[in-house]
A and B are shown apart, each in its own frame.
Chain A
């Protein structure tokens, strides 16, 4: 029987990009597309629906993590075997969906989750200096704890199997930034994590969720606290 695959796209005010992202995915994959609209005040939902995607509309903005988790709960209830999560701003290349899925399904290692890394093959991505430093720090910490090299712990381009979908749907999933802390949690729960090189595009003019002074400072604080409490929590 054919495996059910769902592509989850968390969105907040992405009316400019969402149609293009959906049509690019449709060119590369026959999987169902689910757009989770995180309380956008533009036409993201209408455009996504017109593009042929299923749409979940959150009544107000819950944050990136909570928005993603809504998609995982939906995938779990609708009986999907695999999920690919990717951003709605066009920074992830839909051509890589099959790269992630083939590693997830066919790799002899049988990974539970495959992370698309922008740094593994150094394909077309530049980050601001401060953000690059933060990434280096958290990648190093994650690699040290996982005993395996992690080059992109902040990647939002991932493919996962049913076990991870069920796990994500049931846990206290971070509402804001599910990054290194979630990878460490997965490792503690003995899930197999693998990375594969993908192409990501950067948009220097686009407003990032890590922009400003307070948000990056909060991110660093939150991530350190979350990693520490994850390590100290009982399994």
Chain B
């Protein structure tokens, strides 16, 4: 990779790691949602500062230039993160459904009890 690529890649990965860390520290991001972002940052950093690793990945995926391998890894991580969030959204949706159902049943029950008490 040309030096500009290396510098940019290092800056982006360190920035990503720091911003995720800071969001967790400020409790704006839960630990359970931070680990994949952190892992992406560390892997990109490792690929950039340790060239044999990037060369190996480039060879494995059949890329012509190492920069393509780096972009490929980034896209793969984004896909993984999107999938992870889809699973989490599904879990949250199911929980929200359960809460709404319980709310409706409890509300009806409370109304029924209040009517009985009024009599």
**B108 — which chain A residues lie within 8 A by C-beta?**
54-57, 74
A-B contact count (CB 8 A): 37
- Would you call B94 and A69 a contact (CB within 8 A)? no
- Would you call B104 and A57 a contact (CB within 8 A)? yes
Is B107 in contact with chain A by the CB < 8 A criterion? yes
Binding site of B, secondary structure by majority: helix, strand, loop or mixed? helix
Is A70 in contact with chain B by the CB < 8 A criterion? yes
Query: Which residues of A56-104 are within 8 A (CB) of B?
Result: 56-60, 62, 66, 69-70, 73-74, 77
- Tell me how far the C-beta of A93 lies from the nearest C-beta in chain B, rounded to whole angstroms: 27
Is B97 in contact with chain A by the CB < 8 A criterion? yes
Interface size class of B (residues with CB under 8 A): 10 to 19
- Would you call A56 and B100 a contact (CB within 8 A)? no
- Would you call B105 and A70 a contact (CB within 8 A)? yes
- Would you call B94 and A58 a contact (CB within 8 A)? no
Query: Which residues of B28-65 are within 8 A (CB) of A?
Result: none
Is B101 in contact with chain A by the CB < 8 A criterion? yes
- Would you call A62 and B97 a contact (CB within 8 A)? yes
Is B103 in contact with chain A by the CB < 8 A criterion? yes
A73 to B93 alpha-carbon distance, docked (Å) = 18
Query: Which residues of B3-35 are within 8 A (CB) of A?
Result: none
Is A6 in contact with chain B by the CB < 8 A criterion? no
Is A36 in contact with chain B by the CB < 8 A criterion? yes
- Would you call B104 and A70 a contact (CB within 8 A)? yes
Is A175 in contact with chain B by the CB < 8 A criterion? yes
Is A172 in contact with chain B by the CB < 8 A criterion? yes
- Tell me how far the C-beta of B56 lies from the nearest C-beta in chain A, rounded to whole angstroms: 37
Query: Which residues of A20-74 are within 8 A (CB) of B?
Result: 36, 54-60, 62, 66, 69-70, 73-74
A-B contact pairs, 11 of them (CB 8 A): A54-B108, A55-B108, A56-B104, A56-B107, A56-B108, A57-B108, A58-B101, A59-B103, A66-B97, A70-B104, A74-B108
- A-B pairs with lowest CB-CB distance, top 3: A56-B104, A70-B101, A58-B104
